[in-house]
Amino acid sequence: MTDENRKSLQQFYCRDYLWDLFEVMTKDLGCSVDYLINESMRYYARSRNYSMTSGQEGSSQQAGAPRQGGQAARRPPPLPQTESSTIEPQRAAAARPTLSLLFNGQRFRIDKDKFIIGRGSQQTDLTIRDGNISRKHCAVIYRGGNYFIKDLDSTNGIEFNGQRVERKRIEEGDTFYLCDYELRFTFR
Three-state SS sequence of the chain? CCCCCCCCCCCCCCCHHHHHHHHHHHHHHCCCHHHHHHHHHHHHHHHCCCCCCHHHCCCCCCCCCCCCCCCCCCCCCCCCCCCCCCCCCCCCCCCCCCEEEEECCEEEEECCCEEEEECCCCCCCEECCCCCCCCCCEEEEEECCEEEEEECCCCCCEEECCEEECEEECCCCCEEEECCEEEEEECC
Check residue 38 and give its pLDDT: 81
Check residue 45 and give its pLDDT: 79
Q: 152-177: string of b/e by CB count within 10 Å (b at 16+)? A: eebebbbebeeebbbbbebeeebebb
> Residue 68 — very low, low, confident or very high, per pLDDT cuts 50/70/90?
very low
Q: What pLDDT, in 10s, does the model give residues 129-187?
A: 999 999 999 999 999 889 999 999 999 999 999 899 999 999 999 999 998 899 999 99
Closest Cα to residue 129, out of 116, 117, 141? 117
Give the chain's mean pLDDT: 77
pLDDT: is 121 or 175 the higher one?
Answer: 175
As a whole number, mean pLDDT of residues 6-14 equals 79
